[in-house]
Structures are given as structure tokens and as C-alpha cells.
Amino acid sequence: MRVNAIVAGVAMTRFGKHLDKSLKQLGGEPVLGAAKDAGVELSDIEAAYVGNCAAGTVTGQESIRGQVILSSIGLGKIPIINIENACGSSSTALNQACMMVSAGYYDVVLAVGVEKLFHENKAVTYAAFSGAVDVEERDEMMAAITAGGPEGSGAKRSMFADFYGVMARDHMERYGSTPEHFAMVSAKNSFHGSMNPNAQFPNEMTVEEVLAQPVIVEPLTRPMICPVADGGAAAVIVSERKARELGIEHPVRVVSSVVHSYYDHPADAEENVSSLCVDEAYYEAGVSPEDLDVVELHDSSAPCEILVYESLHLCPPGESVKLLEDGETRLGGRIPVNTSGGLLRKGHPVGATGISQIVELTQQLQGRAGKRQVAGARVALAHNGGGTIRGEVAAMNINILMR
């Protein structure tokens, strides 16, 4: 479906460890901020899509998460739809909001992402990730990837850290990449994150400092794997008619919003869920990779970012490391990636991550990104995938925005 929706307002909390804040506070605060940014009242909102992944495990709040969060700020009565789609929960919420506006059902729709992951018992936090795979295949899968025993996996660290270790080692063997290359990603994103007041870790790190940190899973040190976080983000999506009524002078349009899910296919097939989403998004938006000015992508680990360069066609096959080495994905380069600091530095409150990408890209396209502003940015892409089935992403989301 052709998307015709406008981002009227955005807001987010600072991501981090917020043991003193409830799920209601983390979700309500950015909603109020996004409504103010859009110039609308809560009473103008006709429907809301709320992305959350782990509240049931971490806080015990199941079933009516969106209703509980939004009623705490006086927003109710309207349709409130709860969406759980792993790391792509709020990206999917955005997709649904945009679809409903594009179809003409609503003029003003709210898309929210919120997550409270920190818990006094770390095992509870890590348990929240253990269901983002096919649980009937989990034990066999973990035995294969931990190679030497799963000690600590799922208890002292997220089980996904072991996936990232395999990913890194495979990339090193196939392309000749090194731990230094992974450290370059973390250092780059720390530079970007040092200019983002909402980043969980705003300190800049050198490659040497990244390499000197403790190894979590060989060869990845702590800054090469994204941290868990608490936080919320929200976006108000409106129709063209409503945008004119609000007097939005420099509208940011969502010109493509694509969601696809894992499907069985031969291991050597040219098409997979990621390539399907990427190609469809470029086609729907009528743009090519060369048209992109800024990208926010799912850097749940440093090797993930390097791999996604290629899957987004930012470089020819096999040249992701060169793109990084040449500084092309750093501010000032040809295609700045993760100007927010990415998941590695901004943090990863799973259900809020997708909308936080939209916050960053909207501000970039409107020239509101401060010291990390990409000059003249007009076309932006958000890549966000979550969950794993048989070694492949379970839910993939691509959104393309244009000024």
C-alpha cells in the first residue's frame, strides 16, 4: 500500500536505567511531548498504537499495556491497539498508524513505544529476551551457538549476545574483518551519541578504549553489544489535510513503511525477509540507496551494523568494512549512520527503539538535530528488526522518511 502520512510531532525520554520510573511515566511523558510538538491536544488523537515487548515479564503488566499507560495521562475512549513484535514493536506501531492514516480512516494517530527492562534481579531482565526465539527450538539452538557450554547465557547476559559472537566470528572468517573494525563502529557511534542529550551513554570512546573493555562474548567487548535500557518514544502521525490545518511548514512524510516476517526458504536463496523489506521500501518510496542522507539502523551489536550496510545496499557486496574505514558512515561522511548514537550508545529499550529512530530522523530532516545535524538532509531510512527464527530475523521493519 502506498503510504501518505506525515510525522507532525515527536518526543522521547532519555534512555537509561530508571528504576524509579514506572511504565506509565516512561510512556506518558513522550506522548505529552509529541502532542505538544505537533500542536495537537490529546482530545484530537483518534487512535493509538502502542509498542511494547517485555512488560509482562519485567513488570507483570499484560494484556492492556497501552490502555494502562495512556489512561494515566487522560487519554482513553479511543481505539488503543497493543503491539508486540520483538525489537520492532514500535516500528510496527508506526507502520499501523501510517496505514490507517493513509487509508483515510483517521486524521490524527498516535504511535508509541515504551519499555522498562531494568529490574533489581538481572535474571528477570535477561529472561525477557529468551522468548524472542522459537522456544521449542531454543535449547538445541543455544547448544549449537555457545560452543563450549551456555554458562552465563540468559542469566549473566542476554542470550542474543551469543548470536552476536557467532555473527562476528563468521564475518571475520569470511571477510577478514577484525575486532578493531567492530571497535570502530562503537567508537563512531559513541562520537554521535556524545552529542545526543537522550543517549544512555553520552561519553565518547576511542577504538583503543573500546578494545580495552571486558570481553562479553569472544571477540566482542562490552561497548560492542548494545545495553538494555528503560525509555519511551512517541510520534503523532497526521493526514495531509490535518497537516495543512496545523500549518506544518516543513512536513516530514513517511513515504514507505514495510513490515515482513520470517518465512521458510532455502539457505542459499537470494531473497530473505530483510532483502524483501529493503527492496520493497525503496520501490514504494521511489528512491535508491544513493538518495539517502541519513540512516538509523538496528546496531544491536557492532557486527550487526557492518552487516546491515550491505543489506541496505549502502555499499557493494563485501565492501562494508571499507565503507566504515573510509569514514563514510560517520558525521561528515557520505551517508551518516546512527547519528543518535544508535542502540550501542543511545541504548535499547526494546519496545521503544523503533519510534526513537523516527524521533532522530524527523529531527534530522527538520534541521533540529543540533551538533549532530546532517547538513541538508532530505531523505532518511530507519531499519529495525527483532527476534530470531532459525538464524534469521523474525520481524523486519523498514521506514523511509522524506522532507
**77, 29 in Cβ contact below 8 A?**
no
Exposure b/e, 305-331, CB count within 10 A at least 16 = b: bbbbbbbbbbbeeeebbebbeeebbbb
Q: Is 304 a catalytic residue?
A: no
How many other CB atoms sit within 10 Å of the CB of residue 207? 17
Beta strand spans in 14-123 (E): 47-51, 80-83, 108-115
What residues contact residue 174 under an 8 Å CB cut-off, 6+ apart? none
Backbone φ, ψ for residue 233 (5° rounding):
-150, 150
Q: Which of 18, 119, 260, 348 is catalytic?
A: 348
Question: How long, in residues, is the chain?
Answer: 403
Q: Are strands 379-389 and 392-402 parallel, antiparallel or unpaired?
A: antiparallel
C-alpha cell at 123: 535474571
What residues contact residue 119 under an 8 Å CB cut-off, 6+ apart? 58, 125
**233, 355 in Cβ contact below 8 A?**
yes
At 341, which amino acid appears? G
Residue 337 carries which DSSP code? Answer: B
The three-class DSSP label of residue 262 is coil
Q: Is 87 a catalytic residue?
A: yes
**154, 126 in Cβ contact below 8 A?**
yes
**How far is the first Cα of the chain from the last one, in angstroms, to the nearest whole number?**
20
At 192, which amino acid appears? H
- Strand-pairing partners, residue 115, are 231
Rounded Cα distance between 188 and 211, Å, is 13
Q: How many CA atoms lie within 13 A of 95 on its CB side?
A: 26
Q: Which of 87, 98, 277, 304 is catalytic?
A: 87
**367, 373 in Cβ contact below 8 A?**
yes
Helix H or strand E encompassing 382: strand 379-389
**55, 61 in Cβ contact below 8 A?**
yes
Tell me which residues are annotated as active site. Answer: 87, 348
